[in-house]
Each structure stands twice: as structure tokens, then as C-alpha cells.
């Protein structure tokens, strides 16, 4: 029974990682950039939610939507200001810029709100339900529900709409796509917007479940989501989902044993190393040759 309970804990943690990992993987798929500022967009989402919920007394759904919108604005503006001018620079320049943006967001937020953790208002009365001896809280259920809903919406956008088609085309071959009349700049912005919306939503969900938020809250989940994206195969959307869930479950199980509990982060990150050694393309990633 405890095993099933831990599986549920892992699933709800993993769905958060999956939401963040999706943003990593989509951006990587299209411009081959590991957007290290992505974890901080998640932090921005949580803080936006915090301010809407505390100052305007909003309920859960509007808070979530506004947090997603503000995250989208941040994501798109960052792309336009920081990454777009470097589109034709070497990839390492972009990567370093991403790290710079990440530091700017963290410390800028720290400057604005101070380093003390803030307690997120409980937008939803927490209650827990017992099914066959298993405890599931309504927030866990909500996290799972919202994550699944957003992932289905994403699947729909990417595979059933024209913009999604443009995204897939641009990710396949940017140059050819632009020759076919696809506005690559807009498509890239749209990809950042989608990823940021998911990260913003994850921020609010996490803030609800874990109560405290601070300017550095995005670092660890961001890194773990990155591992999840690599595990699933970076660039692959279903891969990010599977990767996120696997990382969540691995972390939960390693924490639940006294022996490995202190090593849970080490275990998570050694997965990254093992994957890079054994199957560099990840579980669902395609092996691509560098175009010369």
C-alpha cells in the first residue's frame, strides 16, 4: 500500500517536472537552445500568482490564467531582447546568455521582493481523500488534473493547428521552413510563449502545494526538469512527459529510503550522466547528425 502511495506522490511531483520539461524541450527542438532561464519563468509564474492572489484576492482559476499570461510576456520579451539578436551566433553564446538571463531574473526578483520566503495564500481549501487506504489531497489531484489538461491542449496545438505545424516544420529545418513561407521569428516566439505558459502554470501549482515561494525556487526544479527533458530525449514532447514522470517517481522512491534519502538529488543527476553515456539521444529522441 505504501508503494502505491509513493507512486502517487511521485506522479504528482513528476507532472510538475513534466510541465517545466516541456518548455525546455520545445525551445531546444526549435532553436537548439537550452534555455536555462526557463526555471526562473516558473518562479515568475509563482510570484505573479502570489501578487494577484494577495492584492486582488483572486480565486484559483483567474490567478492561474494571469500567472500564465505574465509568464508568456516574460518568455516572449526575453526571447526578443536576449536571444533573437544572437540567432546566428555560435550556440555557446546563446547558452551563456541564457545563464545570464537566469541570474538576472533571480537577483532582479530578489531585489524587488527581498530574499525572505513568502507564504502563498491557500486559494483552495485543502482536504484529503482516502481511496482504499490511500491518501490523496485535492491539491495533488488538481496538480495532476491541470497538468493533464495542459498537456492535452499542447498536443492539440502542436499537432492539430497550423501554428503547430509551423512549429514542427521550423524544428525540423528552420531554413527550409522559412523558404516555404513560414514566419520563423513568430513561430519561435510562439514556442517560447507556449513553454512559458506551462512553466507559469507549474509555478502556481507548486506554490499551492508547497506553500512557500522565494526568488531562487526555480533553480532546482528547473535543473531537474532539464534532466527530465534529456532523459526523455530533448526535442521530443512525449519524451519530456515520460522523462518528467520518471524523474518524479525516481526522486520520490529514493527519498523514501533512509539509505538513499540524502542522495536523492545525486541519483537524479546521475541519471543525466548515465543517459548521456548510454543513450545520448534520450528515450524517445532521434539520433540526428550535425549538418555540416
Q: Which stretch binds another protein (CB under 8 A): 26-34, 174-182, 202-210, 282-290?
A: 202-210
Which of 258, 277, 278, 287 is the binder for another protein (CB under 8 A)?
258
Nearer Cβ to another protein (60/253): 253
Binding flag, residue 256, another protein (CB under 8 A): yes
Smallest separation (angstroms) from another protein to the CB of 226: 15
Q: Which stretch binds another protein (CB under 8 A): 21-29, 37-45, 122-130, 166-174?
A: 122-130
Binding flag, residue 280, another protein (CB under 8 A): no
Which of 87, 91, 262, 279 is the binder for another protein (CB under 8 A)?
262
Which of 111, 149, 159, 210 is the binder for another protein (CB under 8 A)?
210
Binding flag, residue 224, another protein (CB under 8 A): no
Binding flag, residue 252, another protein (CB under 8 A): yes
**Pattern 124-143, binding to another protein, x per CB under 8 A?**
--x-x-x----x-x-x----
Q: Are 224 and 230 spatial neighbours (Cβ–Cβ below 8 Å)? A: no
Nearer Cβ to another protein (17/74): 17
Smallest separation (angstroms) from another protein to the CB of 36: 17
DSSP the chain: -HHHHHHHHHHHHHHHHHHHHHHHHHHHHHH----TTHHHHHHHHHHHHHHHHHHS---HHHHHHHHHHHHHHHHHHHIIIIIGGGTTS-HHHHHHHHHHHHHHHHHHHHHHH-SS-EEPP-SS---EEEETTEEEEHHHHHHHHHHHHHHHHHHHHHHHSHHHHHHHHHHH-HHHHHHTT--HHHHHHHHHHHHHHHHHHHHHHHHHHH-EE-TTTTHHHHHHHHHHHHHH-TT-HHHHHHHHHHHHHHHHHHHTSHHHHTTHHHHHHHHHHHHHHH-TT-SSPPP-PPP-
Q: Which residues contribute to the site for another protein (CB under 8 A)? A: 2, 5-6, 9-10, 12-13, 115-117, 119, 122, 126, 128, 130, 135, 137, 139, 206, 209-212, 216-217, 219-220, 251-253, 255-258, 261-262, 264-265
Amino acid at each position: 500500500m505504501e508503494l502505491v502511495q509513493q507512486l502517487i506522490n511521485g506522479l504528482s511531483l513528476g507532472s510538475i517536472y513534466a510541465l517545466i520539461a516541456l518548455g525546455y524541450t520545445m525551445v531546444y527542438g526549435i532553436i537548439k537552445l537550452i534555455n536555462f532561464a526557463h526555471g526562473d519563468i516558473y518562479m515568475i509564474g509563482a510570484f505573479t500568482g502570489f501578487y494577484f492572489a494577495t492584492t486582488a484576492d483572486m480565486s484559483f482559476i483567474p490567478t492561474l490564467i494571469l500567472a500564465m499570461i505574465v509568464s508568456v510576456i516574460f518568455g516572449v520579451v526575453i526571447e526578443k531582447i536576449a536571444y533573437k539578436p544572437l540567432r546566428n551566433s555560435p550556440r555557446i553564446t546563446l547558452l551563456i546568455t541564457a545563464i545570464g538571463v537566469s541570474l538576472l531574473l533571480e537577483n532582479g526578483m530578489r531585489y524587488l521582493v527581498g530574499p525572505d520566503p513568502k507564504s502563498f495564500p491557500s486559494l483552495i481549501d485543502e482536504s484529503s481523500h482516502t481511496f482504499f487506504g490511500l491518501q490523496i489531497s485535492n491539491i495533488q489531484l488538481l496538480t495532476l488534473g491541470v497538468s493533464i489538461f495542459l498537456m492535452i491542449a499542447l498536443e492539440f496545438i502542436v499537432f492539430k493547428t497550423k501554428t503547430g505545424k509551423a512549429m514542427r516544420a521550423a524544428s525540423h529545418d528552420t531554413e527550409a521552413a522559412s523558404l516555404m513561407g513560414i514566419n520563423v521569428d513568430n513561430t519561435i516566439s510562439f514556442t517560447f510563449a507556449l513553454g512559458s505558459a506551462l512553466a507559469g502554470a507549474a509555478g502556481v501549482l507548486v506554490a499551492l502545494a508547497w506553500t512557500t515561494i522565494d526568488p531562487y525556487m526555480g533553480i532546482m526544479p528547473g535543473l531537474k526538469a532539464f534532466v527530465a527533458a534529456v532523459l526523455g530525449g530533448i526535442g521530443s514532447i512525449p519524451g519530456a512527459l515520460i522523462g518528467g514522470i520518471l524523474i518524479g517517481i525516481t526522486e520520490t522512491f529514493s527519498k523514501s529510503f533512509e539509505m538513499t534519502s540524502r542522495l536523492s538529488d545525486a541519483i537524479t543527476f546521475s541519471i543525466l550522466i548515465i543517459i548521456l553515456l548510454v543513450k545520448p539521444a534520450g528515450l524517445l529522441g532521434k539520433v540526428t547528425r550535425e549538418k555540416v
